[in-house]
Each structure stands twice: as C-alpha cells, then as structure tokens.
C-alpha cells in the first residue's frame, strides 16, 4: 500500500526499542537512551550496533550501516520498503490518516513442500572414511592445510576415498541423511584431474538402491548446520569449502558442487542463517551474475531471516590473468599470501 508523508512520519515514530524486541533483537547495556547489539551486516563479535531511543535510529560504528525503524525492519526481515511499512503498521497498530486505504500485508509466495528423502545407507560413509585419496595428500603437500587441519576437516565433512584414489564428497543433510556422494580425482598440485571424470555413488550402486530411491541433491556440508553458528558461507567447489573451513572457522562452509548444480531449492534449509556467497572469478563475471539470479529467485521463494549477501571480493580484486584462470576464494587468498612472502 502507499503511504503519504504524514503516515510515514507516524511509522518512523514507532519506538525503536519496541521494534527490536518484536524482531527478537537482544539489546545490551544499562543506558536508558542507547543500547548495543551485534551488527547483522558483518561478522560482529563485539556489539558494534548502537540503538538510539532518543533519535529512534540505529547505526553500526564499524561498517557504518544504519537508519530508521523502517530500514531496520527491511534489513532484519528481508522486506522491501512498503512491506516493512505494512509490517510496522500491523504489529504496532499505527493509526493512519483517512486518506490512506489499508490493504493486507503483502506476503511472499509459499514454497513447495520438500520431497521425502530416501537416503543411502550411512554404512557407505563409514566404510569409505579415510585420508587415502590423492586430494587429501595434495591438500597437505601443497600447503593449503597442515596435516592436523586436514584430519579435522576430513572428519567434519566425512571425507571418503575410492580404490582408485578418488575423494568422496558425501552429500549429507542436516538430518544426517545421505543423499549421494561425488567421487572426484585430483592432481598433486591439488587441482582437478580433468582427464578423470567425476562419478556418483548412486550411479555406481544403481542395482543395489532401494526401489523408492530418487536422487535429491543437497549442499555439501549441510550436516554441519547442527553446529552452534548462524553464519554460513557458500562456495562452488567442495575442495574450497573443506580448506576454508579450517581458515575461517566462524562460518559453516558449504558447497553447491559447481554452477551446473546450483538451484534455488538448495537454499531452503538455510532460511534462518546469515548467508554470504563467494562466487568464483571469471573474465565476463558470469558466475557472479548467475549467483545473483539464483539468489534472487531463492529469496522470492523462501522467507529468509536475513538478506543473502554476495561477496564482490573476487570481482573487484582479481587481476585479468586470475579471472582468465577462473580462480576461487582459496586460490586468491593463497596467492595473496605467497605474494607477501
């Protein structure tokens, strides 16, 4: 619905402390006019967001984000301007002028009910676990991870290996159900062996699968959502998720397994999490554009608690040569470190 200037002023006067309480934002501090809370726009470990009761505004003194109660609702509930106004009017019974005709609060389209998963036997994961893959050897040999870091990451992600030396990246959801596993092959430099195509566990075992089995992919690492964090980082390759998990431990690192695997439905289990995505670099910026389209569609289908963020880091900081090589966040950070040696 549309609002005139007088109505917008009334909406902006809704007490910001009350709005925070309604949104479930925990305020800290003994001050009567100013409280503190963790900023939801960055990785905030110490409350840097100030909520000012007198001015009825908020502002983060680290990233600079801030605004009035309308913008607060927009950011926290992932709504547009008019949806945020509608929410405030409804939740706080704002009395509007006679010239404003009230309409129902706009809601997002309901997402379809997720299909029932018929999982693979978890014994497959248990039997395959180990550090015998060429991938695990290469991660340590190239210096991406120490041996201790690799062991920790391999245990968390339930990495397996095949008789031919391929690593098995198991797709396990937050209910610990095994959807399938991707078997991939790596060279000693920790780059993919493109002469050896990836294979899927469900394809190899097709004769032994339950009659009702139907492949439903999930994000690699999804089972780690049970850990106590609300911060999620998503990348394209499983290799990147495994390595980054040991470098930046404040996040649960997930992988879509490549752009060809990316679908809006994969985001459905993440609606309560703070999500940041690191697209790979490429000469035309196609990966960033494709991620943007998928994210927009996911946010149309599902009601996320926080807006999904796409990191522009590789778009902005990589060289032309790095874009030609289509490097990812791991390669970028690793090459940055090497350049400073």
pLDDT in tens, 216-250: 899 999 999 976 778 999 999 999 999 999 999 99
Architecture of domain 5-92: Alpha-Beta Complex (3.90)
pLDDT in tens, 147-162: 999 999 999 999 999 9
CB 294 within 8 A of CB 264: yes
Lookup: tokens for 143? 């210096």
What mean pLDDT value characterizes the chain?
Answer: 88
pLDDT in tens, 88-136: 988 888 887 654 444 444 444 444 455 667 889 999 999 999 999 999 9
Q: What is the mean pLDDT of residues 28-43?
A: 85
Every domain range in the chain assigned CATH 3.90.580.10: 5-92
Instruction: Say whether domain 224-340 belongs to CATH 1.20.1250.
Output: no
Beta strands in the chain (DSSP E): 34-37, 49-52, 57-60, 66-67, 160-161, 167-172, 178-184, 199-200, 231-235, 252-255, 274-277, 309-310
pLDDT at 210 over 60: yes
Every domain range in the chain assigned CATH 3.40.1360: 224-340
Pick 281 or 206 by higher pLDDT. 281
* Cα dist from 74 to 84, 90, 275, 304, 325, whole Å: 5, 15, 16, 12, 38
* Cα dist from 232 to 179, 207, 244, 301, whole Å: 20, 36, 12, 19
CB 328 within 8 A of CB 236: yes
pLDDT at 168 over 50: yes
Q: What is the structure's pLDDT at 127?
A: 96
pLDDT at 270 over 80: yes
């Amino acid at each position: 619905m549309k609002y005139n200037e007088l109505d917008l002023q009334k909406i902006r006067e809704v007490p910001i402390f009350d709005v925070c309480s309604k949104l479930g934002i925990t305020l800290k501090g003994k001050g009567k006019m100013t409280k503190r809370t963790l900023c939801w726009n960055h990785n905030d470990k110490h409350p840097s967001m100030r909520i000012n009761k007198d001015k009825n505004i908020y502002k983060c003194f680290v990233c600079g984000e801030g605004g009035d109660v309308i913008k607060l609702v927009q950011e926290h509930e992932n709504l547009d301007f008019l949806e945020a106004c509608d929410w405030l009017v409804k939740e706080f019974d704002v009395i509007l002028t006679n010239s404003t005709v009230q309409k129902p609060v706009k809601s997002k389209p309901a997402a379809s009910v997720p299909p029932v998963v018929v999982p693979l036997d978890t014994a497959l994961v248990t039997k395959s676990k180990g550090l015998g893959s060429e991938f695990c050897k290469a991660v340590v040999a190239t210096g991406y991870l120490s041996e201790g870091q690799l062991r920790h990451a391999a245990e968390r992600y339930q990495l397996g290996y095949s008789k031919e030396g391929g690593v098995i990246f198991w797709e396990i959801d937050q209910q610990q159900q095994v959807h399938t596993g991707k078997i991939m092959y790596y060279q000693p430099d920790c780059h993919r062996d493109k002469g050896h195509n990836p294979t899927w566990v469900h394809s190899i075992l097709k004769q032994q699968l339950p009659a009702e089995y139907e492949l439903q992919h999930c994000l690699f690492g999804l089972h780690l959502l049970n850990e106590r964090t609300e911060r999620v980082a998503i990348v394209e390759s499983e290799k990147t998720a495994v390595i980054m998990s040991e470098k930046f431990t404040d996040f649960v690192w997930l992988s879509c397994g490549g752009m060809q695997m990316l679908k809006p439905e994969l985001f459905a289990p993440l609606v309560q999490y703070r999500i940041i995505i690191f697209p790979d670099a490429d000469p035309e910026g196609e990966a960033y554009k494709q991620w943007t389209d998928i994210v927009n569609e996911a946010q149309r289908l599902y009601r996320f608690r926080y807006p999904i963020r796409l990191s522009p880091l590789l778009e902005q900081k990589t060289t032309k040569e790095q874009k030609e090589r289509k490097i990812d966040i791991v390669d970028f950070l690793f090459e940055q470190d090497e350049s400073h040696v």
